[in-house]
Amino acid sequence: MARAVTSRRKALNTTLAWLVGFLIFFPILWTILTSFKTEADAIANPPVFLFFDWTLENYEVVQERSNYMRFLWNSIFIAGGSTILGLLVAIPAAWSMAFVPSRRTKDILLWMLSTKMLPAVGVLYPIYLLCIQLGVLDNRYALVVILMLINLPIIVWMLYTYFREIPGEILEAARMDGASLKDELLYVLTPMAIPGIASTLLLNFILAWNEAFWTLNLTAVDAAPLTAFIASYSSPEGLFFAKLSAASTMAIAPILILGWFSQKQLVRGLTFGAVK
């Protein structure tokens, strides 16, 4: 009897989980479906779900109008570069905070996080002027540095939480065996923290990929990533939903595939330390 209740509950939970999953995924599915519709079908009322004239015309138009590969390469460069640079800075910082904490460590961590609370537009002009002075407007390297700085608090926090779970005794034992600080970081801590680093890397890559304020405001032609590519298909006058959906699908496809294959690490990284 108890078993029957459990399996019924299991079935209910599974159905509920699928339903919630479907609800969350629905906007993406709708975007993908709309990208295969004509502009008239895209706005049809009542909306058409699957039974419409499927067309690739929107993708053709988008391909013809924009140099997708250039936007894609810029997105990969900026998101990848800022993630790697961020990890190089954040790993030593998180290590020192996790294993050699001082009286002020908690305050520093909170202060770092508080910088995320500043609305980005509040510093648009200072950063824009700085970029003009340094001659790095519309420059990929500048965006790598800026996005790294923006996401740094999150990387440090994630790594800090992860490192805290690693028993300090292991590091002490390594020290007893004569490991230097470099050895300790490289050969003991990093291998143990690889799952945490991997999930931090993935999450940061996704955040940088989707960043749409600085990447739109500081780029024009050379450094414009996929966010600018999407922005060029929205229009205040006229019908554009199908073409915009095609552009959005092309922009999110790489990151969707990456997320699909690495969801185990992502879920682990996001829920780590959540339940204690």
Residues that bind other proteins (CB under 8 A): 38-40, 43-45, 65, 124-125, 128-129, 132, 137-138, 216-217, 220-221, 224, 228, 231-240
Minimum distance between the CB of residue 74 and other proteins, rounded to whole angstroms?
Answer: 13
Closest to other proteins by CB, 194 or 239: 239
96 vs 139 by CB, closer to other proteins: 139
Nearest to 217 by CA among 114, 116, 117, 142: 142
DSSP string computed for 67-91: -HHHHHHHHHHHHHHHHHHHHHHHH
CA distance 117 to 210: 18
What DSSP character marks residue 138? T
Element (H, E) at 117: none
Q: Minimum CB separation from other proteins for residue 231, in Å?
A: 5
Q: Nearer to other proteins by C-beta: 216 or 256?
A: 216
Smallest distance, other proteins to C-beta of residue 66, A: 8
Q: How far is the CB of 128 from other proteins (least distance, A)?
A: 5
To the nearest whole angstrom, how small is the minimum distance from the Cβ of residue 167 to other proteins? 50
Complex with other proteins: residue 204 or 249, whichever CB lies closer: 249
The residue (of 84 and 124) whose beta carbon lies closer to other proteins is 124
Count the residues in the chain. 276
Q: Are the C-beta atoms of 157 and 214 separated by less than 8 Å?
A: no
The Cβ-side half-sphere exposure at 30, using a 13 Å CA radius, reads 11
Three state DSSP letters for 100-122: CCCCCHHHHHHHHHHHHHCCHHH
